[in-house]
Structure 1
Amino acid sequence: WGVSVLLSLPTLIFRDTVSYRDRVMCFNNFNVQDRHIAAVRHITLVVVRTAVGFLLPFSAVCVTGILLAIKVHQSDNSVSLSSFSKTVSAVILAFFLCWAPFHTFSLMELSFHSSLYLHAVLKTGFPLATSLAYFNSC
Structure 2
Amino acid sequence: MAATAVKMVDFDPKAWDLDDKLEHLAKNEHRLVDVDWFLGLIDQAHMETIKVLQWLQTLVHHVPELNGYRQHVNDLYKTRAAKCLPSECKKTEIYPLAVTQKDENLTTELRDAIVEFLSQLGQKDGDYVRRLILAGGDGLMYEKFLQMKKIPSIPS
Larger Rg: 2
Q: Which has the higher helix share?
A: 1
- The answer to which structure, 1 or 2, has the higher relative contact order (CA under 8 A, 6+ apart) is 2
Whether the TM-score (by the shorter chain) exceeds 0.5 is: no
Q: Give the TM-score taking structure 1 as reference length.
A: 0.31
